[in-house]
């Protein structure tokens, strides 16, 4: 099984500016989070919930945008970004 390690960023200060979300401030919550290439969005959210980062893993409330090197987790309603995972080099 192959995968990557990611750094987890908490988007703790996000503003809606003219209908677009802008991350004003963020912090690193964890480094070296391993995610296998075949992990589902639900599995990623379950891992983050079990580790204490997310309060839910309910996919009706979350949306995951996986762009390979970057994974962004949004609140489904309004698509507000809440966490980002960036692949480590």
At 12 the pLDDT is 97
**Looking at the predicted structure, is the pLDDT value of residue 1 above 80?**
no
User: In whole angstroms, how far apart are CA 23 and each of 27, 73, 75?
Assistant: 11, 13, 14
- Condensed to tens digits (0 to 9), the pLDDT of residues 20-79 reads 999 999 999 999 999 999 999 999 999 999 999 999 999 999 999 999 799 999 999 999
State the alpha helices, DSSP H only, in 1-89: 41-50
Domain-wise residue ranges, the chain: 3-87
How much of the chain exceeds pLDDT 90, in percent? 96
Give the list of residues 6+ apart from residue 45 with CB closer than 8 angstroms, or none: 54, 56, 57, 59, 62, 64, 73
Q: Look up the pTM and report it.
A: 0.93
Q: Return the DSSP state at 79.
A: T
Residue 89 — pLDDT band, cuts 50, 70, 90?
A: confident
């Amino acid at each position: 099984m192959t995968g990557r390690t990611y750094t987890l960023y908490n988007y703790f200060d996000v503003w809606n500016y003219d209908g677009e979300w802008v991350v004003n401030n963020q912090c690193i919550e964890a480094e070296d989070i391993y995610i296998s290439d075949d992990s589902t969005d639900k599995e990623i959210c379950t891992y983050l919930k079990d580790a204490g980062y997310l309060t839910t893993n309910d996919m009706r409330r979350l949306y995951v945008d996986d762009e390979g090197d970057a994974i962004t987790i949004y609140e489904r309603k309004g698509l507000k970004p809440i966490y980002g995972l960036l692949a480590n080099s």
